[in-house]
Structure 1
């Protein structure tokens, strides 16, 4: 896949949990190649494992971007395992996220070009704030 960065839309996603037995939220912010805000989401997902939550956040971003008709997409997450699983379809995911990863791989086919990038947590501060709002939207 030959992907030039011109015209890409970027979705930063993150997760917040208020403790091991408390609610979790996912959030994401979408911007165009000029960093202009396009959309965002914040959603409560109840209690969940961090790995599952991170994967659910990416799946939600893919669904939203697909519904917007976006064709060139960058997904940024601070979870390197999930990012690497989505970069390499040959890698088998842990059983707990296998079906969500498969969903993501299927949704990815709607895009002309899709890139998955790992980012440091500090780079996802807006997505982190949205995920925090999601914990209250249970």
Structure 2
């Protein structure tokens, strides 16, 4: 499986966001990468969160990425993540787990500021670049 650039879409100016969260030895980290319409990396980020669940880590990864996307005034976003639950929640096809409700509300509030968002669930193997970025978050615990 390959990480691919966003598909050509009329109007251009689309940005592709891949995010991921992970828990290793009870410590969580998250990462993301934002690419332009040609698949070129624009921004990447990672951080650790200490002890939490995988669902919380995934949500925090997306929220962190959305803060950056909003700060750069990117308006057309193609979101890909390997958390089927989070993608389903954001598409409105699944209920929100109570443990992540406040983070999901933050994400939804930020999402309302964008002109267009597309949500796609991808297999974990597609997120290998984000996994490498996320390892930086694990290395900088504290």
TM (normalized to structure 2)? 0.87
Aligned length: 132
Correspondence for 2:37: 33
In the alignment, is the contact (CA less than 8 A) between 1:55 and 1:82 conserved in 2? yes
Correspondence for 2:95: 92
In the alignment, is the contact (CA less than 8 A) between 1:44 and 1:137 conserved in 2? yes
Q: Where do 1:15-30 residues align within 5 Å?
A: 15-19=21-25, 21=26, 23-30=27-34
Correspondence for 1:76: 80
Correspondence for 1:9: 15
Correspondence for 1:130: 133
Task: Give, in angstroms, the shift of residue 77 of structure 1.
Answer: 0.6
Q: Distance in 1 between matches of 2:24 and 2:85?
A: 22
Correspondence for 2:112: 109
Q: Distance in 1 between matches of 2:121 and 2:79?
A: 8
Q: Distance in 2 between matches of 1:39 and 1:59?
A: 15
1:44 to 39, 48, 52: 48
**Structure 2 residue runs without a partner (length 5+):** 1-7
Task: Give, in angstroms, the shift of residue 91 of structure 1.
Answer: 4.7
In the alignment, is the contact (CA less than 8 A) between 2:32 and 2:134 conserved in 1? yes
Is the partner of 2:114 in helix, strand or coil? coil
Q: Which has the higher contact order (CA 8 A, sep 6+)?
A: 1
Q: Distance in 2 between matches of 1:52 and 1:121?
A: 17
**Structure 1 residue runs without a partner (length 5+):** none
TM (normalized to structure 1)? 0.90
Q: Distance in 1 between matches of 2:46 and 2:135?
A: 8
Task: Give, in angstroms, the shift of residue 16 of structure 1.
Answer: 2.6
